[in-house]
Amino acid sequence: MGFMTFKTTMLSNLFKKPVTTKYPAEPAVYPEGSRGHVVIEIEKCISCTICALNCPSGAIKVDRAARTWEINRYDCIQCGYCTLKCPKKCLHMAPGYQTPGPEKSIEHYDRPPEEEKPAAPAANAAATNAGDGK
């Protein structure tokens, strides 16, 4: 049974600097594996809508015809399920949380326009050549 057993810790804490960081004056430091927000490499996206169908909170919306990908960062729960399900692996988690704001906003990404496919006659010629080869 002791009296004032906390005195050594208390006195040493009096002379140490505080353990809290002066956020937001000093920037927050997140370790490398931190799940902060979802990042998309829009060039690789094929609008398969698998990420939108599997999102537990429904934060992702994909429009196949218009070739867009939208995410409501305020609804996202940072679970990382979309990054596991994407067949082209174009979704990643990056550190850094969504900063607060006065209203919810949606981030919008457009896929680059389709390139012209190579002309059809070249493909037909290749097929007939292959047929003759047999």
Partner 1 sequence: MGKKSVVPFGPQHPVLPEPIHLDLVIEDEIISEAIPNIGFIHRGLEGLVEKKDFNEMVYIAERTCGICSFGHGLGYVEAIEHVMNIEVPARARYLRTIWAELGRMHSHLLWLGLAADAFGFESLFYESWRIRERILDLHELTCGSRLIFSVNKVGGVIRDIPADKLAYIKDQILIVEKEVKNIEKTFLGDYSVQTRSKGIGLLTKEEAHDLGAVGPFARASGITADLRTTGYAAYGELDFEPVISNDGDCYARLDVRIRELYQSIDLIRQAIDKIPEGELEAKAIGFPKGEYFMRIEQPRGEAVYYVKGNGTKILDRMRIRTPTFANIPPLCETLKGADYADVGPLVVSIDPCISCTER
Residue ranges that bind partner 1, judged by CB under 8 A: 1-6, 9-10, 13, 19, 30-31, 33-35, 54, 56, 77-81, 84, 93
Please calculate the CA angle 75-80-81 and round it to the nearest 5 degrees: 95
Closer Cβ to partner 1, 1 or 119, answer by number: 1
Residue 74 or residue 123: which is nearer to partner 1 going by CB? 74
Q: What are phi and psi for residue 49, nearest 5 degrees?
A: 65, 15
Smallest gap from Cβ 111 to partner 1, in A, equals: 26
Tell me how far apart the alpha carbons of residues 52 and 94 are, in angstroms, rounded to a whole number.
Answer: 19
Q: Which is nearer to partner 1, 4 or 119 (CB)?
A: 4
CB of 103 to partner 1, least distance (A): 25
Residues 6+ apart with CB under 8 A from 43: 90, 111, 112
User: 22 vs 17, 18, 30, 113, CA distance in Å?
Assistant: 12, 10, 15, 45
CA angle 94, 100, 101 (to 5 degrees): 125
Specify the residue, 20 or 128, whose C-beta has the smaller distance to partner 1.
20
Residues found in the chain:
134
Nearer to partner 1 among residue 17 and residue 117 (C-beta): 17
CB of 122 to partner 1, least distance (A): 42
CB of 19 to partner 1, least distance (A): 6
Q: How far is the CB of 20 from partner 1 (least distance, A)?
A: 9
